[in-house]
Copies of this chain bind each other. A is one copy, B any other.
């Protein structure tokens, strides 16, 4: 049982690894720790960020590992523009996104009323929600002009 700031996610990862005959590596630990500090990030951005302290960490490893986090339910991939954003699910429970299709600006928001209505819809259909994804695409005030 891991302890520390990101103990919960670290254990989720370890459990996932155990179930799938995968191994706990220095890189996976490293990338998870870095990932959890962000709300969302691209593989490329994380590559450059980690290169400062670990110059030999490969880009392919970042991609592989972020996709692994998606499988484990820690991250969620989202296509924006030409790139893939990996969202931190831990932050996501109460944060949805307003995304400007002009400049790519992302505004986070939370709205309990919407969440309540989502629960109602789910219940009405016999579902139990674990996570959700709500993205509103449009133009911010600057790009509209």
Contact = CB atoms under 8 A, between A and B. Distances in A.
B136 A129 contact: yes
A53 to B, nearest CB: 31
A126 interface: yes
B117 A100 contact: no
Nearest to A73: B101
A136 B121 CA distance: 9
Number of copies: 2
Nearest to A144: B128
Contact of A127 (B80, B122, B136): B136
A114 B119 CA distance: 11
Interface in A34-57: none
B111 A138 contact: no
Contacts of A98: 121-122, 125, 127
Interface of A: 79-80, 98, 100-101, 107, 109, 111, 113-114, 117-118, 121-122, 125-141, 144
